[in-house]
Chain A
C-alpha cells in the first residue's frame, strides 16, 4: 500500500533500530514522552517496544482528546441528548465514553437520537436535513480537529442554519505539555512531538520546550519508521547535549503550520481562562470557547447544561498514568475493574488511550 508500506519496511526499520542501539548510553535510563495518543497506539500495535533497547522508556503523553475530557463535560453533552427534538452527534471515539448515567451508545439504546459522524460537516448536513430538530455536535480534539469545527460554524452562519450548535471541548496541547514539565514528579528527557496537531500549528510553538526547559522535541509521524527515526533524532540531540525542535514529519508538517486553519481558529474561537483536564486538573488558557459573535452556535449558550464537576473514581489512577508517573498495568484497576468494555478511566476508552492500547496489544486479556 503506497505511502504506508515504505514506512513499515523491515529492512529500513532494522537499520534505524541498529543506529538507535549504537547511539544510546547503556548506563542511562532514558524517558522519552510521545505526546500524541496516535503515537502510543502505533507503538503498541507494531510491537516497537520489543525492538528498542531496554533502557529507553516511552512515557505516554496527554495527547488523547477523549482521555483528557472530564466526566462532568460528558454529562453536560449527554444532557443535550435527553432534550426533546434534539439529535446529538459525536465522533466515534466519544460513543463509548462513560458519563455518570451511561455512555452515548447507552443513551442511544435507550431511545435518544445519538448519531456518530465522521466530520462536523456531517452534523451540519443532518441539521439541514432535519429542520424540525436541533442538532448538537459534541466537539472534541486538539488543534487537529478544531479547524474543521471552526469551518463548520462559519459555514452554518454563511448558510443561515438556525438549528445547529456545537458543544465545544476543543483543547490546545501546549499548556498541557507545560503543566507536565512543571510537575515536580516528572522527569522527561525529550519529546516525540505530535504529528497531526503540528500540521496545523507548525513546529514553532514547541520552541519554548527546547529553549526554556532545554528538552529536545522531534515532531514525528505515526508509522513505525517515523517513530523510530524520531526517537533516534531525540537520542542524537541528547548525546550532543542539544535541545532543538526538529521536524521528522516533513512530508506532512510545514514548519510554519497551516495559516488558513489557524485563521479559522482565530475567527471562531477564543481561549477559555481555564479548563479542567481529566487527570491533570485545571490548566489555564488550555481550551477553546466559541466567540460571542457565534453565540447562536454555542450549545453552552443555547442549552442550560448542568455543569456539575464529577470527580474520577478514587481508585483509578488516570492522572498518574497520563503524566507518565505510572505505566498502565501499575494502576490498581487496570485489567480487572477497568477494561475497554467497561472503562472506568478515560484512558481505557479511546483506542489512543495508553491503557486501552496497552490492554489491547500487550496485556494478556483478563477473562471475564
Chain B
C-alpha cells in the first residue's frame, strides 16, 4: 500500500529548529521508534540502570564555516552537548564523539579542531572517552561534521519539566541573545556586513550549578535556546505546559551589534540561535536569589528576568512592547530570511 509521505522532501527549514523541525521529529522520526522515554522529547533522556539514574544526549554539528569569531566546530560540539545535559538537570560526566571527515580536509584544520575539543572538554570537566571516525569523498561534507553523545549524572535535587511550571513563575535568561547566530551569518561573508561580534559558545554548567546551589527546589524547567532561538524554546514550553508566557521586551538583553544586524536584515533576535545561554523558569520566591547567583558567576553579569508565566493566553508567548502595546512571539518559521526593503 502506498501512502503519501508526511514530508515530501527534506528542506533546509527542517533543520532550522522551528516549526518544520518539530513536524519532522514528531511526524516522521519519533512514531516508528515510540517509547516512553522518547515521548518527552527533552534535551536529554533519563535512564535508570540498576538503580542509577543517568542522563544521555546526542548532538550533531555541521556548522559552516568550521571556525568563526569566538569558537569553532570542536569547542561548539563539546559545549552544545554539555549544555543539553546541564539544562536537563544533570552534571556532565563524559562524551563520545564521531567525526565525519571529508577527503581534502587539511590536517592543520583537523589538528586545531581536536585541540579545541580537548581544551573545551577539560574546561568543562568532562572527558571524551570514545568515538568513531569516518571519511567521505571530497564534496560530500563541508570539511568535517561532528556527532556527539553525552552522559551525565542526574542532580537529584532538581525536578524539571513543563509539568512543574506554574502561573506566576518567572523567566530567567542568562545573557544577551543572538550572538552566535549573527556571528555565523556574518562569518559566511555573503552580507558584506562586518562586526566584532563573537559567538557566545560556552558551557552553561557553572551558572546552572550556582543557581541550583541557592534555589534547587524552585527551578521548574531549563532549556538552552539554540536553533530557533528564545522564541522557539518558550513557545515549546507554553505548548507543553499549557500556559501563557508574557515577556517584557525591554528587559531582554540584546547587544547593539546584534540588534543592528537584525534591524538591517529584518530578523528578530528572539529567533536567532545561541550556544552559551539558557532559559530557566523559576518559582517567584527564589527568582531574585537565582538571578543574583547567576550574575555572581563571571560571564553571568548580563542575566535578567525577562517575563513570567501566565494562565492566559494558553500555549502562546507574547511580549509587551515599550509603548504598552503587545505582540505575539511565534516560533521560527523556516530559516530566517532577510527582507529586501
- The segment from A46-54, A75-83, A237-245 found at the interface with B is A46-54
Q: Is the CB of B10 within 8 A of A141?
A: no
Q: Is the CB of A106 within 8 A of B340?
A: no
Q: Is the CB of A116 within 8 A of B337?
A: yes
Q: Is the CB of B341 within 8 A of A196?
A: yes
Q: Name which residue of chain A comes closest to B324, CB basis.
A: A51
Q: Name which residue of chain B comes closest to A14, CB basis.
A: B323
Neighbour of B13 across the interface among A44, A105, A122, A140, CB < 8 A = A105
Interface residue ranges of A65-103 to B (CB < 8 Å): 65, 91-93, 95-96
Residues of B within 8 A of A46 (CB): 321, 323, 325, 327
Distance between Cα atoms of A88 and B339 in the complex (Å): 18
Q: Is the CB of B340 within 8 A of A109?
A: no
| A-B pairs with beta carbons under 8 A, tally | 110
Interface residue ranges of A1-53 to B (CB < 8 Å): 1, 4, 8, 10, 13-14, 17, 38, 44-51
Q: Does B9 have its Cβ within 8 Å of any Cβ on chain A?
A: yes
If the complex has contacts A65-B341, A96-B337, A145-B341, are A47 and B23 also in contact, measured as CB distance less than 8 A?
no
Distance between Cα atoms of A359 and B316 in the complex (Å): 13
Q: Is the CB of B325 within 8 A of A105?
A: no
Neighbour of B11 across the interface among A106, A141, A365, CB < 8 A = A106
Q: Does B138 have its Cβ within 8 Å of any Cβ on chain A?
A: no
Expressed in whole angstroms, the minimum distance between the Cβ of A215 and any Cβ of chain B is 24
Q: Does A224 have its Cβ within 8 Å of any Cβ on chain B?
A: yes
Neighbour of B313 across the interface among A44, A48, A92, A364, CB < 8 A = A364
Tell me what chain B mostly uses at the interface: helix, strand, loop, or mixed: loop
Q: Is the CB of A50 within 8 A of B326?
A: yes
Distance between Cα atoms of A140 and B316 in the complex (Å): 35
Distance between Cα atoms of A44 and B325 in the complex (Å): 9
Q: Does A315 have its Cβ within 8 Å of any Cβ on chain B?
A: no
Q: Is the CB of A118 within 8 A of B19?
A: no
Neighbour of B259 across the interface among A1, A14, A109, CB < 8 A = A1
Question: Can you offer 21 A-B residue contacts whose CB atoms are under 8 A?
Answer: A13-B323, A38-B341, A44-B327, A46-B321, A47-B325, A48-B323, A49-B325, A50-B326, A92-B338, A93-B339, A109-B12, A118-B190, A118-B191, A118-B338, A122-B190, A141-B340, A141-B341, A145-B341, A361-B327, A364-B316, A365-B316
Known: A38-B341, A50-B325; 12 extra A-B contacts, CB below 8 A, are: A1-B259, A44-B327, A46-B323, A48-B325, A142-B341, A350-B339, A361-B328, A362-B328, A365-B331, A367-B315, A368-B19, A368-B23
Residues of B within 8 A of A (CB): 9-13, 19-20, 23, 190-192, 235, 239, 256, 259-260, 263, 266, 313, 315-316, 321-328, 330-331, 333-334, 337-341
